[in-house]
Amino acid sequence: MTEDMIPMNPEDLMNFNCNFENVCFNDCCRDLNQALIPYDVLRLKNNLGISSQVFLKTYTSLHYGPESGLPVIEFKPNPDTGYECPFVTPKGCLVYEDRPGSCRMYPLARAIARSRETGEITQYFALIEEPHCKGFGKKTGQTVKEWLKGQDVDRHNKENDKLMELISLKNQILPGKLEGAQSDQFYLGLYDVDAFREQIFEENLLDKINLPENLLNKIKKDDEALLNFGIDWVKFMLFGVKMTFGE
């Protein structure tokens, strides 16, 4: 948490409300510099009814995290539109039901700490009061916990935590920037899930890995199961972590 953030507990009142009546409506969707986690990409490409390849090529750009050295996917910047989100409209978000987790969290920031002994995750929250946002000071009677539930953000956070665990593992075992095939494997298994599935079932990507038949059937049809498998596959390919196949 940075010094300009206000720490919040789950039972604290939010005193915040975002709606179309606010004069700043949609302002937070402009001048955007927004990273997408793999689960965001999965939800968005399915909302639009397009493949992961088309979504990534059309709407995103790729760079490498300065600290993690890992591929980072962001919305493609467009200076002609004031760097606004490609899905913002005058009436609001075009993909609202499947908007990214960071959109759901705003104006809260979230940090986690994981116990080394138990693996249990503790969450910490802080309020980001930005000058352009006029949603503050509006009493709704909602606590932070209730507000987060209303944003349906829990699943996104859990998926983000899996990514954070993977990044932590990478930094321990393989510090520095991923290069070549390793970078391609990370991108394929986590972001380009449709190409990943195609390589599994049409190009024998896993011919040296004996997967249970029930798992193969599941990842053939279920994108979320495929994404979870992709995380395990990346851990195996890059860091040598044994695949448990859900055991």
pTM score? 0.91
Side-chain half-sphere exposure of 216, counting CA atoms within 13 A: 14
- pLDDT, one tens digit per residue, over 181-230 is 999 999 999 999 999 999 999 999 998 888 899 999 999 999 999 999 99
Confidence of residue 245 (pLDDT cuts 50, 70, 90): low
For the chain, give the mean pLDDT.
90
What is the model's pLDDT at position 26? 83
Number of Cβ within 10 Å of residue 114's Cβ equals 14
**What are the beta bridge partners of residue 128?**
5
**What integer is the mean pLDDT of 231-238?**
94
% of the chain beyond a pLDDT of 90? 60
Confidence of residue 49 (pLDDT cuts 50, 70, 90): very high
What is the model's pLDDT at position 33? 84
**What integer is the mean pLDDT of 116-134?**
87
**What integer is the mean pLDDT of 5-25?**
88
What is the model's pLDDT at position 223? 96
Q: Is the pLDDT of residue 154 over 50?
A: yes
Q: DSSP for 155-199, please give it.
A: HHHHHHHHHHHHHHHHHHHS-S---HHHHHHHHHHHT-HHHHHHH
State how far Cα 226 lies from the chain centre: 15
Confidence of residue 92 (pLDDT cuts 50, 70, 90): confident
**What residue spans define the domains of the chain?**
5-154, 160-239
Confidence of residue 1 (pLDDT cuts 50, 70, 90): very low
What is the model's pLDDT at position 190? 97
Q: Is the pLDDT of residue 112 over 60?
A: yes
What is the model's pLDDT at position 242? 87
What is the model's pLDDT at position 46? 98
**What integer is the mean pLDDT of 57-79?**
89
Map tokens 């930094």 to a residue.
171
